Amino acid sequence: MEWLFRRRRVFKTCLSVSLFCATLVTIHKFHLVEERERDKLAVNSRVQHEWVQPENSSNKKTSDSHNAAFKGEGTTAVPPPRWDINVSSCPENSDLRTQSWFKHMDSRFHQFVLHRHCRYFPLILNHPEKCQGKVYLLIVVKSIIEQHDRRDAVRKTWGREKEVDGKQIKTLFLLGTTSLRKDHRNLQRLIEQEDQIHGDILQWDFMDTFFNLTLKEVNFLKWFHIYCPSVQYIFKGDDDIFVNTGNIMDFLEFKRKDPQINLFVGDIISRAAPIRNRQSKYFIPKELYDKPYPVYAGGGGFLMASSLARRLFVASEQIQLFPIDDV
C-alpha cells in the first residue's frame, strides 16, 4: 500500500512539472506570435495583369498608364453624385468571332469574352445610406439570391452591425440576378422583401454566375468610390466563411500608427499558374491567359484600406476583366 502512495506522489510531481513546462511553451508561442504580428508588413499590391489579345486590339493599354493610375495619379477626379448606369443591355463584340485565337478557345468562355467589355450595370437595390456618417469598417459579403440562410447566419454572427469603442461596423451583401429558368420573378420578390426587412443588399442587373463574380468586384469598387468617401476600411469575403470581427478591430488598432494607405491583408498566393484541366472549376484556356498569375489574395476574405480601394477602382478601369474574381 505504501508503494502505491509513493507512486501516486511521484505521478503528481511529474504531472506538475509537465504542466509547468507546457505553460512555459505556451507563453513562448504567444511571444512569437506577438513578434510576428509586429513585423508583419502591409501588402503593397501592384496589379500588373497582362492579357492575351489580338495584336491590333483597340482595348490594349500601356503598362505606364496602368501603373500611374494604380499609384494614385488622377484619382482626385470627382465621382458622379449617384450611380449613373441605367441600361443593362450590352451587345457582344462580334469582331472577335473572326479571330483565330477565339475560334480555338474552349466554347465555355465565348460568351464571357464577347461581353467582357460590359463592365457596369444598373442597380436594382441600392443603399447609399450605409456609408453615411463615420463608418470605420464596412463588411462586404458576396452572395446569391438563393443563399438566404447564409446571409441570416452572417447577420446574426460575425456580420452583425454594431459599434465598438465608438467605431461603427456596417454590413452589405452583393448580389446579381437569377437565371430566368429559376423562377426568377418569385425569387426576385423574395429578395426585395428580405431587403425591406434588413436594408443591407446591393443588387445589380447582371446574372449571378461564376464568371460574373468579377463584375461584383468592379461594380462594388465603383459604388464605393461614389457613395463611401468617409469609410476607413473594408473587409470583403464570401457568405460561407466565419470571421472574428473583434480580431479585425484589434488588428486595425494595432496597426493604426503605421501608414495605412496600402493596407491589404489576406491569404496571399504567389507563384500560381492557370489550371489547364478542363474538368476544373478554375480552368483557364491558354488562348485567354498564357502566363503565370501575379501575386494575389484569395477571394474568400481580405481586408484593405479605403484609400487602396479607390486606387484599385481607377486601376480596374484600365484592364480587361478576368473570369476568376480574386486573380
| pLDDT over threshold 90, residue 50 | no
| pLDDT confidence of residue 325 | 86
SS3 assignment, position 207: strand
Task: Over range 63-75, report the average pLDDT.
Answer: 48
| Helices 306-316/213-227 angle, 10° precision | 120
SS3 assignment, position 60: coil
| pLDDT confidence of residue 327 | 75
Task: Over range 67-74, report the average pLDDT.
Answer: 49
| pLDDT confidence of residue 175 | 98
| Percentage of the residues of the chain whose pLDDT score is greater than 90 | 67
> What stretch of H or E contains 174?
strand 167-177
Task: Over range 248-271, report the average pLDDT.
Answer: 88
**Each residue's pLDDT tens digit, 205-230:** 999 999 999 999 999 999 999 999 99
CB 310, CB 71: distance < 8 Å: no
**Each residue's pLDDT tens digit, 115-142:** 999 999 999 999 999 999 999 999 999 9
Of the pLDDT bands very low, low, confident and very high (cuts 50, 70, 90), residue 77 is low
| Percentage of the residues of the chain whose pLDDT score is greater than 70 | 75
Of the pLDDT bands very low, low, confident and very high (cuts 50, 70, 90), residue 91 is very high
Of the pLDDT bands very low, low, confident and very high (cuts 50, 70, 90), residue 78 is low
**Each residue's pLDDT tens digit, 138-164:** 999 999 999 999 999 999 999 999 999
CA-to-CA dists, residue 276 to 260, 297, 298, angstroms: 38, 21, 19
Q: Where are the domains of the chain?
A: 63-316
Task: Over range 27-54, report the average pLDDT.
Answer: 37
**Each residue's pLDDT tens digit, 271-294:** 999 999 999 999 999 999 999 999
Residue in the block written with cell 426585395:
192
Class of residue 315 by CB neighbours under 10 A (exposed 0-12, middle 13-18, buried 19+): buried
Of the pLDDT bands very low, low, confident and very high (cuts 50, 70, 90), residue 41 is very low
| pLDDT over threshold 50, residue 311 | yes
- Measured distance CA(201)–CA(171) in Å, rounded: 9
